[in-house]
A = this chain, B = another copy of it.
Amino acid sequence: MIKYNTNNIKELEHLFKINLINSATGYKSANLIGTKSVNGQENVAVFSSVVHLGSNPALLGFICRPTTVPRHTYKNIIETKTYTINHIHQDILEDAHHTSAKYPENISEFNKTNLQPEYIGNCTAPFVKNAPVQLELKFIEEMNIVANDTILVIGEIINLYVKEDLLQQDGLIDLSKGKVAAINGLDAYAVPETNIRFEYQRPK
């Protein structure tokens, strides 16, 4: 095993450090968050920090660094209270990753990639067309993480759309059937081909 302690980590070259620490949690969720500004400007950006907070109510969180590129996403959510979360799948990996480029606020990533916005129902924020899972979120609250000046943005799922062939009889969304990706670090994407399920576990 190779070992890094706190001081080693602090002294690492920047890119090496962010590659290492971003891989240290294991696989991460791969999502595109869609928003629209109050002026009607569309935005879509890749996030790897969407996390399940609870099912009843159905709450999800994600981590935002307001001083870096996703601030358009954050600003739009705070102003409009609405956003979409769309699963990244095999066919859109390269375009999804390209949304990490730092475009100015008046440029829509939808116009710089083959990603297509889709509007469903009354949701003012764009979904990503053909994503196997599309979620409409209502902003609930934000929490400042003092330790490193980041923000946990919390939202409730108010509409969930899932491709029929992914949905199992007991409610599981089979992500491998949808060729959904997971993120490894900052720039590596894995698309698992299958999965293994286990029973509910009781003491033995």
Contacts and interface: CB of A to CB of B under 8 A. Distances in A.
Contact of A152 (B31, B152, B163): B152
Chain A binding surface SS class: mixed
A78 interface: no
A172 B188 contact: yes
Given A6-B156, A19-B171, A189-B195, A133 B24 contact: yes
Given A25-B29, A176-B190, A170 B52 contact: no
Interface in A13-55: 15-31, 48-55
A102 to B, nearest CB: 7
Interface of A: 1-6, 9-10, 12, 15-31, 48-61, 63, 65, 85, 87-88, 93-94, 97-103, 107, 112, 133-135, 140-141, 143, 145-148, 150, 152, 154, 156-164, 167-168, 170-176, 180-182, 184-204
The 4 A-B pairs at the shortest CB distance, nearest first, are namely A19-B171, A190-B192, A16-B171, A23-B173
28 contacts: A6-B158, A9-B58, A15-B170, A19-B171, A21-B52, A23-B171, A23-B173, A24-B52, A24-B133, A25-B52, A26-B31, A27-B175, A48-B52, A51-B51, A53-B63, A93-B198, A100-B201, A112-B204, A145-B154, A173-B184, A174-B184, A184-B195, A187-B198, A188-B198, A189-B197, A189-B198, A190-B192, A192-B193
